[in-house]
Amino acid sequence: MLFLRTEDTVKIQGINEIVTFETHNRKGNNILKVKLNGNKLSFNVSELYTKMIPKSDKELFENLETKMLITKFGELIFQDPNNCCHFLVFDEDDGAIKPTTFNDLTEDDSILFYDPPNDYVLGEIQDLYVAEEMNQRLSNYILYSENEGIIINDIFVI
């Protein structure tokens, strides 16, 4: 199960629009979700699930490291409380698409970005950071998905 805390300004790929918490309700948004089956991506539409961080868990999140992925297409600042977040990396040696955790990413990796109607394009990672003082920029809500990934800032997060 994917649990992710991001900024309220992230762009989540909706059906025919981009969903942001700044301009949309947090509940009831249907978004494009993705699954990796072998080397193929499949898409479907379902509800974006969110949950407010309970006050009793606030301190837990304040002590979690905040991760930052920077690419030429944009950035993603997030917390991954269950260490279950994966990005889709294209392995040039065997032509395979492989889910890879943030900690296993390198600046030499090319990750997949959403690019309709072609499904995806490859983009190089420019920088990776782990910070302790960025969590004040993050939302009070967690995004979660049970069996599928979501597209955040055009980045496939599974």
Report pLDDT for 29.
Answer: 87
Q: How far apart are CA 134 and CA 77, in angstroms?
A: 8
CB atoms within 10 A of CB 34: 22
Architecture of the domain spanning 2-157: Beta Complex (2.170)
| pLDDT tens per residue, range 23-42 | 777 788 899 999 999 999 99
| pLDDT tens per residue, range 89-124 | 999 899 899 999 999 999 989 999 999 877 899 999
DSSP code at position 53: P
DSSP code at position 153: T
Domain coordinates in residue numbering, the chain: 2-157
Global pTM reads: 0.92
Task: Place 135 in a pLDDT band, splitting at 50, 70 and 90.
Answer: low
